[in-house]
Amino acid sequence: MPTAASQQFEEPVFLKQEVKMEPLACGWYAWPHLVAPMQLALNIKFRYLPLMQSFISNPSVHAAAASDPKLFGGPFVTLTDSAVPSVKDLFNATLDRCSNLITLAQDWRDLDTLLQDKANGYSLNEFYGKLPESLQGLIECVYDINNHPALRVFEELLHQDDISAHTQEIYLAPISERDRCFFMNTPRLRTADSLTFRMKFSDRRLDALAATRTTPRSCNELASLFGLQGADKETFGRLFTSTPPKAASNRDYAGDDVRVRYFGHACVLIQTSQTSILFDPMVAMEQHDDGRLSLHDLPDRIDHVVLTHCHQDHFCPEMLLQLRHRIGRIVVPRNNGGAISDPSMKLVLEQLGYENIDVMDPMDRIAVPDGEILSMPFAGEHCDLNIYTKHTIALSLKGRKFLFLIDSDGWDPVLYRRMMRRIQSVDAVFLGMECDGAPLNWLYEPLLTKPINRKNNESRRLSGADCERAWNVWKEIKAPRVFVYAMGQEPWMRHIMGLEYEPDSIQLQESDKFVERVKQAGAQAERLYNSRELTF
């Protein structure tokens, strides 16, 4: 006769909203550069190992810095002294488990240093005889047209070798969005309430788990699927609830117009009765009475997901794994093949288990019912690195046109004049105005062979447009509706953005000035936050 406990495991249950389903690489939250193998290797060697060493040596320094909200996104581990033994264990496990990646990163750095020091315009053929074993057959030595040497990596071959799949894990833990540690400075350690599964991100069992956000399933079935028994099965069971999420209304749209639903940050869902298109998914997992739209408000079927560039607040592996079973096709920009700063989004998506990927060059179009998705250039926001993997999007649906300029910096307004020659007019434009972004080294330092000096580093930032540059862009577009977005202020974005604006922050001041200036010019303008719904 079944016990009460075993009967409980037979009941249909939902994954609790506060349970986060994080992809990890070597114990760290997996953002795009931790899915791409070469970039993962460089981050392990030159970011995470030194960070763990620093914490182990001086945990009190990290604890003091972590207690300052202004330093939330800084290089300080958000753990207490009691975590030192666990971090030591992770450090030693990383040295052992990731030795091939650590060697790869050091060999890349050494070879690039040699190339920068010795290549002087003569043929680079001699360098192939100096390739370490880890790089043989994986790189090409090249010059640009000004005789500056560089290394090009054959990303496809690295992915083919599957050299980083053994680092991939899924971490389940109950934690509120407000309490999540910053994605780049704190490893995810095992707790009494958490579980870690060593599995490839492409594993289809994740679809079954993600589906329980909205569709219940027996906990016994799920535990069996993941091979859980004993104490781990009991821990797993506590991550679920028989209480369903609040019923979402209006997830699908059957009207004659075009519906626009803003889900926060840069996430926008465009729907007609025939199609649904989701931009840069980064939605709240938790339902709260603050007016937000959450994961539960997305339709069961999303025809196209459009990813605009490879920054973690627009291209989020955690979110994409949980939406994978809902997505028809996924759209990405081309990349600068082989450039270390520009990993292929297509290859990263394949690591995440996606097969239905469309790669667009600028001015390419994809036909959708009653319209098209048009890829267009995206200038700025990438610290002047030679990164191709970014595009803005002009979306046409049922005679309406929407222009998503993302985080364009607007330094050259003539670019938008040329773009408008193709699209003629738009009904609404979306523009990010994070005009004082982080410096170059915040995201890209492990990829830099030569350290950058402080002055240069501070001048090269991950910034969008300020009021003046945004105004110069708008004068070329003349959109009657303007939406400032992608400001990263929603509470569920804190662990990704690492910032919270004060009321007098330059970003808010500049966007307020721009909104008012557009209004004075006779157009409608607003800065979006949390959620919004409109029809066109």
The pTM of this model reads: 0.96
- What are the pLDDT digits (tens) for 111-170? 999 999 999 999 999 999 999 999 999 999 999 999 999 999 999 999 999 999 999 999
- What are the pLDDT digits (tens) for 291-301? 999 999 999 99
426 band by pLDDT with thresholds 50, 70 and 90? very high
Based on C-alpha coordinates, what's the Rg of the chain?
24
pLDDT at 474 over 90: yes
DSSP 479-523: -SEEEEE----SGGGHHHH-----TT-HHHHHHHHHHHHHHHTT-
| Mean pLDDT for the stretch of residues 450-479 | 96
What beta strand segments (E) does 219-258 contain? Answer: 240-241
CA dihedral 7, 8, 11, 17 (to 10 degrees): -170
pLDDT at 395 over 80: yes
With residue 139 as reference, give the H or E element that holds it.
Answer: strand 139-143
pLDDT at 8 over 90: no
* Residue 231 neighbours by CB distance under 10 Å: 9
Burial of 234-264, coded b for 16+ CB within 10 Å and e otherwise, reads ebbbebbeeeebeeeeebebeeeebbbbbbb
| Mean pLDDT for the stretch of residues 254-261 | 97
* Residue 369 neighbours by CB distance under 10 Å: 11
With residue 157 as reference, give the H or E element that holds it.
Answer: helix 155-161
| Mean pLDDT for the stretch of residues 505-517 | 97
Mean pLDDT of all residues belonging to the chain? 95
pLDDT of residue 247: 87
- Tell me what percent of the residues of the chain surpass a pLDDT of 70: 99
- Residue that the structure tokens 């033994």 belong to: 85
pLDDT of residue 46: 98
Yes or no: say if 384 and 409 are a contact pair by the CB < 8 Å rule.
Answer: no
CA 462 to chain CA centroid, Å, is 14
| Cβ-based neighbours of 499, under 8 Å, separated by 6 or more | 72, 73, 488
DSSP 309: B
Q: What is the token pair recorded at 236?
A: 């797993």
pLDDT of residue 6: 60
For CA atoms 72, 73, 76, 82, give the dihedral sign: positive
Q: What is the token pair recorded at 109?
A: 């750095």
Residue type, 215: T
Q: How far apart are CA 348 and CA 359, in angstroms?
A: 13
Yes or no: say if 213 and 246 are a contact pair by the CB < 8 Å rule.
Answer: no
- Using CB atoms within 10 A of its CB, is residue 136 exposed (0-12), middle (13-18) or buried (19+)? exposed
- CATH 3.60.15.10 for the 259-535 domain, yes or no: yes
| Mean pLDDT for the stretch of residues 485-507 | 92
| Mean pLDDT for the stretch of residues 443-465 | 95
pLDDT of residue 1: 43
For CATH 3.60.15.10, the residue range(s) in the chain are 259-535
Q: What is the token pair recorded at 385?
A: 């690195």
* Residue 178 neighbours by CB distance under 10 Å: 10
In degrees, to the nearest 5, what angle opens at C-alpha 38 toward C-alphas 36 and 42? 115
Q: What is the token pair recorded at 431?
A: 């523009």
pLDDT of residue 502: 87
Beta bridge partners of 241: 14
* Residue 370 neighbours by CB distance under 10 Å: 15
The CA-to-CA distance between both ends of the chain, in Å, stands at 60
Q: How far apart are CA 240 and CA 505, in angstroms?
A: 40
Q: How far apart are CA 278 and CA 298, in angstroms?
A: 9
pLDDT of residue 503: 87
DSSP 391-413: -EEEEEETTEEEEE-TT---S-T
pLDDT at 7 over 70: no
DSSP 313-330: TTS-HHHHHHHGGGEEEE
- Residue that the structure tokens 């626009």 belong to: 260
Yes or no: say if 217 and 13 are a contact pair by the CB < 8 Å rule.
Answer: yes
- Residue that the structure tokens 């349970």 belong to: 19
